[in-house]
Amino acid sequence: MFSLSKRQFLRLSGLAIADRLLPWRLRAQEPEPRAEGDLKIILVTFGGGVRYAETFAPEGLRNIPRLRALRSEGRFFKTCINSGVLSHYNSTSSIVTGNWQRVDDFGFGRAASPTLFERYRKASGAGPTDAWAICTNKSFATMGAGRSRDFGEPFGANVVLPKQLLLEAVSGVIARAPAAGVADRANVLRRLENILNAGYEGIGWTIFEGGRRLDRQVKDTLTRSLVEYIHGPEAPSSGDELTFFVAREVMREFAPRLMLVNFWDMDVAHWGAYSLYLQAIAKTDRLCGMLWDEAQTNPAYKGRTLMLTLPELGRDGDADTANGFLNHRSGDPSCRNTWMLALGAGAAKGETDRPIAHVDICATAAELLGVKLGETAGRPIAELI
């Protein structure tokens, strides 16, 4: 894991906040104090697709030591069903909208329904720094807001795509002459490949048109900060570690009430290496535990945070195809039947056998935040209300 000063992070935070949402003069200010009773909600997607067989099945528990230990501290839902399109964007946008989404699989379009972020901010008057989506998945640029005319980006979440932004900024650094401040460009490139090539799609993808464009000032600031950390003693080993770091710093600097954290390195399974898939599961488990540790020790979150962790989808079962872990499109129970672990405020200890659904997550969070959703496919989860 790498280290970045708070001053550097505050400079970087501009990459996630459009000028029209948060004027430059306000970006580095402290978040507004909140009443002690304010519930904070963190939605964590154990993303990329993971099967029961490698997680909470008896043979999979060795891969998730942190979540296994935390299971007894919260409410474990044995069956959380994804009845929608088995793609990453549609699955996660179904979680944050409360309706099954059937839009472009790669995030070029927006969810048809308003997101929880938009509904919460519009109903409460919450400011731009109170809702964030921090996502390893490159196609989640539009995850912060749907296409409803009554809502939209003015009420949406600040979306940070750490891996893409890292690549965008540093591509300019390694192209410069050594006199520009990078002593060994070949070494820089090798380090970047270790960070960015962790997902099966590899290095070389670009910022999607659907995302918020960075202005010149933000790009220059980001580039300078990245040069500093590249030459430092530590660096992240994967995109998910970078995502965790940004999420933790957002919590410390802005203390938002609503946040989505998308881990995604497990989608390396598409490469066909089962060992890499298992390594990614173990890393995601560790990062989920570290995120909960932050919520337990951060004064702004301690004692008033509900963290909901669930896979966005499963993966194919081996009974349907050889090496079923590679993909997640069969629609079999191994793809659709996942789990959820609720930790913290309002989550009584125990287990629930009754099936819940991905769309119920948004309905539950909205109820807890005092937000009316209107007509949605999801229903509040009784055990958490």
For residues 376 and 76, give the distance between their C-alpha atoms in angstroms, rounded to a whole number: 24
Q: Which amino acid is at 52?
A: Y
Those residues with Cβ within 8 angstroms of residue 174's Cβ, 6 or more apart along the chain or in another chain: 182, 185, 188, 189, 192
Q: In terms of Cα–Cα distance, which of 142, 373, 370, 111 is closest to 262?
A: 142
Q: In terms of Cα–Cα distance, which of 4, 46, 51 is closest to 334?
A: 51
For the 6-24+33-384 domain, the top CATH level (class) is alpha beta
Residue 6 exposed, middle or buried by CB count within 10 Å (0-12, 13-18, 19+): exposed
The structure's pTM equals 0.82
Instruction: Give the pLDDT confidence score for residue 59 in this predicted structure.
Output: 97
Contact (Cβ atoms closer than 8 angstroms) between residue 113 and residue 84:
no
Instruction: Give the pLDDT confidence score for residue 250 in this predicted structure.
Output: 82
One DSSP character per residue, 167-213 reads HHHHHHHHTS-GGGS-S-HHHHHHHHHHHHTTSTT-S-----TTSPP
The β-bridge partners of 350 are: 75
Instruction: Give the pLDDT confidence score for residue 301 in this predicted structure.
Output: 98
Tokens of 327: 């993909």
* Per-residue pLDDT in tens (0 to 9) along the chain, 385 residues: 444 454 444 444 443 433 333 332 333 333 334 344 589 999 999 878 999 999 999 999 999 999 999 999 999 999 999 999 999 999 999 999 999 999 988 777 899 999 999 999 999 999 888 998 989 888 898 999 999 999 998 999 988 887 766 665 555 555 554 544 444 555 655 666 666 655 545 433 333 434 444 435 434 544 455 555 555 555 667 888 888 877 887 888 789 999 999 999 999 898 889 999 999 999 999 999 999 999 999 999 999 999 999 999 999 998 766 678 988 988 999 999 999 999 999 999 999 999 999 999 999 999 999 999 888 999 999 999 8
Residue identified by tokens 């960070």 is 195
User: Residue 180, Cβ neighbours under 10 Å: how many?
Assistant: 13
Tokens of 25: 């003069």
Q: Which amino acid is at 342?
A: A
3-state SS class at 353: coil
Instruction: Give the pLDDT confidence score for residue 23 in this predicted structure.
Output: 34
